Amino acid sequence: MFIAPLTTHIAASQTAAQVASGDNIQVYGIIVEGTSAGQVRILNNDSTLKFLMSTVANGTEHLSNGFQADKGLRITTVAGVTCTVFHSHPGR
């Protein structure tokens, strides 16, 4: 199993939390976990929607398709739902 060089954890109830702000990164995967049902918005750095991920109460959802994030990402979570992003070092 490949382990990404960096992980960024986004806590519940965050609005447009930045991951590698302004720097290009390779995203290897994203895990969304929730104690309650909810959605996580994965946004481009300019706040346009890239992905919308949903989870059920006490559930986990994952995205394992890698992608390039030009100028980083912004992530919005709801109460009871967290997100972990597995990514390269900024600028690589």
Mean pLDDT of the chain: 89
Q: What is the reported pLDDT for 76?
A: 95
Q: Where are the domains of the chain?
A: 6-87
What average pLDDT score do residues 42-70 get? 90
Residue 2, pLDDT > 80, answer: no
Check: CATH 2.60.120.340 for 6-87? yes
What average pLDDT score do residues 54-62 get? 90
Return d(Cα 20, Cα 51) in angstroms, integer.
Answer: 17
Token pair recorded at residue 81? 């739902």
DSSP secondary structure, the chain, as one string: ----SEEEEE-TT-SSEEESTTS-EEEEEEEEEESS-EEEEEEETTS-EEEEEEE-TTEEEEE---EEETT-EEEE--TTEEEEEEEPPTT-
Q: Is the model's pTM score more than 0.85?
A: yes
